Amino acid sequence: MLVDKRGSRSRILQFIESYLQRHHRPPTVREIQQGCGFRSPRAVSYQLERLEEMGSISRQKNSRGILLRKHVADGFPIPVFPSIPAGRPALTEEPADETVRLTPESLGISNRTACFAVRVRGSSMIGAGILDGDLALLEKKKPREGQIVAALIDGECTLKRLIWDSRLGHVLRSENPDFADLRPVQDLTVQGVLVAIVRKVE
């Protein structure tokens, strides 16, 4: 059963546009399948048929015969969660309550579908230029030591710098001397790596 048809079509259009920009030729059905995570070429062909009916694309009788008829809207939606503590960690399971549209290329985003954003609360990261109320844009990917991450530490979520301590293992470090390092008692799971900070200037 096909689900989220509208989202699937939008994902295909964005992939085609991105592929054209990188390779200066349209992708094949197989490349769309791999790039967008479809289970079969037939699922891609079905969505291409719908996009052609909508006038978003036209197709010719060759493997790279997909032509865009309409430009994909600038930017793409990223789910925004109400808040993430940049102070003492706090338990949160709040759902996303809004979205923000951003252009991935300008922010160094490598995987659109792995992005999310959160509102920052607190002052523990002011030394890194991250202020209370900022919008932190994160990407779900493997972190490197020293990167700022959103992490779940013993069931509580926070935004900190990931540091390796030879005695303690991984710890989460603030960018404010008023806050001590956080060491997991049991679990530490990185949920996303900070890509950018978006701030509204009054």
- Whether 58 is catalytic is no
Q: E strands of the chain, at which residues? A: 57-59, 66-68, 76-85, 98-102, 115-121, 135-139, 148-153, 156-165, 169-173, 188-198
* The one catalytic residue among 56, 160, 166, 174: 160
- Whether 124 is catalytic is yes
* The one catalytic residue among 40, 83, 106, 124: 124
- Residue at token pair 């109400």: 82
β-partners of residue 179 are: none
Residue 5 structure tokens: 């048809």
User: Closest by alpha carbon to 163, among 154, 175, 64, 28?
Assistant: 175
Region of 52 (left: φ > 0; alpha: ψ -120 to 50; beta: rest) is alpha
Q: What is the spatial distance between Cα 41 and Cα 150, in angstroms, rounded to a whole number?
A: 36
Catalytic residues: 124, 160
